[in-house]
Amino acid sequence: MACWVVNEWLLHDLRGDNGQERQMEADRFLDTVIHRCDVIVFVMGSPFQALITSNADGIITTDEDLQKALTLFGISVVMRDDFLKQKFT
C-alpha cells in the first residue's frame, strides 16, 4: 500500500476549476486510490510537514518549484500529470 501527500491541485480539479478533462482525471484518480487501498493525505498547511507526519512515500504536486526544492533533499516528488500517466496508461 502506498501513501501519497496531495496538495491543492486535487481539490481544484475535482471542483472543475481546471476544466472537465482534469475533473474526470481527478475522479479516476480517487477511484483508483479507493480500489487499490492506497492512502492519500491532503495538505493542511505545509506539504513537507504532511509528508513527515504521515510517513508518506512522496508528494504529488503541480508545483514545479516545490518539486525542485524537495528533490534536492531526496524527497520523492511526482508531478501530477506524470503520476496520472503512470497510473492510467
Could you read off the pLDDT of 27-72 as tens digits, one per residue? 988 888 888 767 777 766 666 676 776 778 888 889 999 899 889 9
Q: Which residues, listed in sequence order, are joined to residue 84 by a DSSP beta bridge?
A: none
Per-residue pLDDT at 37: 64
Cell, residue 8 = 491543492
Beta strands 58-61 and 39-42, pairing class: unpaired
Per-residue pLDDT at 58: 85
| pTM assigned to the model | 0.77
Which of 4, 9, 15 is closest to 87 using CA atoms? Answer: 4
Sheet containing 58-61: which strands, arranged edge to edge? 39-42, 3-6, 58-61, 77-79
| Contact in structure between 44 and 50 (CB atoms under 8 Å) | yes
